[in-house]
Structure 1
Amino acid sequence: MLLSNASLPLPLNQEGKEVNYVGRFAPSPTGPLHFGSLITAVASYCEAHAHQGSWLVRIEDTDIPRIYPGSEAHILRAIDAFEFDPDTDIIFQKDRLDIYEDVIQQLHAQGLVYACQCTRKMLGSNHIYQGTCRDLQLDLAHQAIRVKVSDQVIQFTDPIQGTHQSNLKFDLGDFVLKRRDGIINYQLAVVVDDHLQGITHVVRGADLLDNTERQIWLGQLLGYAPLQYMHLPLAMNDQGQKLSKQNMAEALDLSQPSQLLQRALKALHQPEVELDRPARMLQQAVAQWSSTYIPHQTMLEGIYT
């Protein structure tokens, strides 16, 4: 287990009491927030507070070369504009790189990771890593670091997406925790910080569904408590593409937070809320929130164009 001094103070609910539900919104600053991001923020916020729990915000910015100029500032402005009220201070993963390095060393001491010298050109089109470097005992410096997987079925049940399972050995192979250029992989950082922040429930988009088995596996290796996962259907544009930064989705108009909140709740098939200042709308949304209303599908076509 990680040293206790790496942990963060566990959050309390808005009444200052300990909680059994801790959720989070964890955007990556590779571009400004778009409407799909808002759907995730609203759903995670309402689900947490409907369970009398806490809701945290974390900026997932370990991939420093991909940070889009001004996007972190836009995220923080959006949190304020929509009057979300995180229950702890916002943390930035780029400030916590030494923690992730310590975890890699911990896993290495247990023989659970190894250095890999394979390049994309060497691997070709095969997306399942065959363990080429697993027994070479290469020095960790200046190499990619992979975690070992086993012949084991990992299964979880998502309240929206149903039951999913994967045998990582045959579906993926040993996967990367740290790239050769030194960038910490998303899979490692998210698992470590969810644990250290006391996260119990993860509400996020269905585009991250395939990451879940990898994160469950890492959590098991590190002895972390299991999490509950809920993957929301994705907002699509009129070309049938998911709203994303890669598809140049329009940035949220922070001058119209109340109107956008109404649209987000409608997209999630929640009861209508009165147009008001965002904090009051969120309060009403929480009071009548039910995740059972969310469509049990992976895509919400034509939600926002």
Structure 2
Amino acid sequence: MKTIKSNLENISEIPDIQDLVDTRCIPINRVGVHNVRFPITILDKNNNIQHTIANWTMTVSLPANKKGTHMSRFLVLLEKFKGKLMNLSSFSEMNADMLYLLNSENGDISASFPFFLEKKAPVSNVASLMNYDVQINISTCNNKTELEIVITVPVTSLCPCSKAISEYGAHNQRSNITLSVTSNKILSLHIEDLINLVEKEASCELWSILKRPDEKYVTEYAYNNPKFVEDLVRDLAFRIDTVFPNISKYRIEAENFESIHNHSAYAVIEKTINN
């Protein structure tokens, strides 16, 4: 006990190199920790709890006269929020705590994780879990904080041209639609709502388990709802403009993994709205 007490008393005598003055006078936009795998507990729209693993990046700005930041404090912050039920409001709280701990005016937090939804097959009603890639980004700069949700949704797309020129059948493929939405009023949004919005604008959505009646439904539904990659992004943009007026910025990216070409078809729409 005497040795431990002595070591603790000597901590104040250990130099804190990070707090030294840097004479190069060059500010750093972002400095912190990257690629940190740490548990996260997500509270979904229906107040259900999901335990998953997030990949974290946490950074702050560093003034020109300061040598370094305190890297351990980012992990201290993660420990503080370990087990806390996280929703979009919680990320705002976490970001504010980070700026306080690191004594910084500007900072960014990014957490990417798999998000799961239970879906019932369209005919058999067999339930199964679908996973989606989700990323939450929160950024504070010049006293302005923005929260961004990025989701990647796998869907089916069927080629209108192939359907029109073929005597029977049409080529289709799996597609990834990545939607990014940003707003300072984004706390009213839910991950599930955005996933549903994307899926409804595809030729057909996907399920993890399909019985034969379900496969028939999916095949015929997609055939009756053909869409080019251009249609995917335009239809989704139109729906966003109609349903979510509080969104200040969005980006829609669609990639069709072509079944008859050795390349992907690709389209992007980006829009900033001056509210």
TM-score range with shorter-chain normalisation?
Answer: under 0.3
Which structure has greater strand proportion? 2
User: Using CA pairs below 8 Å that are at least 6 residues apart, which structure has the higher relative contact order?
Assistant: 1
